[in-house]
Amino acid sequence: MEDNNKKILNRLKRIEGQVRGVHNMIKNDRYCMDVLTQLSSVSSAINGVEDIILRRHLDSCVSAAIKSGKELEKKEKLDEVMKFLNKFRR
């Protein structure tokens, strides 16, 4: 998992750089479509990090709840994931 965290942190550093780039584009009054294109790249990168973290949650927490055989724990974890997906995903 430590290796996974390093990958996530490296991706977040790249995203930080992309956001700084957007900041500079706005500051330098760059063409709107160029800014929107860069923002779309930032969104995609954030979604990628989100996917990694969600997968880790499914592989660890949700999987453990299912394997535990405890129906309430399983239901709570699955409901938690569904609530997240319904609230934050388009």
What is the C-alpha to C-alpha distance for residues 69 and 29, in angstroms, rounded to an integer? 58
pTM of the model: 0.83
The answer to whether residues 90 and 43 touch, using CB atoms and an 8 Å cutoff, is: no
- For the chain, report the end-to-end CA distance as a whole number of angstroms: 28
pLDDT band at 88 (very low <50, low <70, confident <90, very high): confident
pLDDT of residue 36: 98
pLDDT of residue 10: 96
pLDDT of residue 52: 94
What is the C-alpha to C-alpha distance for residues 11 and 15, in angstroms, rounded to an integer? 6
Per the structure, the count of domains in the chain is: 1
Specify the CATH number for the domain of residue 67: 1.20.58.1000
pLDDT 10s digits, 8-59: 999 999 999 999 999 999 999 999 999 999 999 999 999 999 999 999 999 9
pLDDT of residue 65: 94
pLDDT of residue 6: 93
Domain range spanning residue 72?
2-88
- Other beta carbons within 10 angstroms of residue 31's beta carbon come to 9
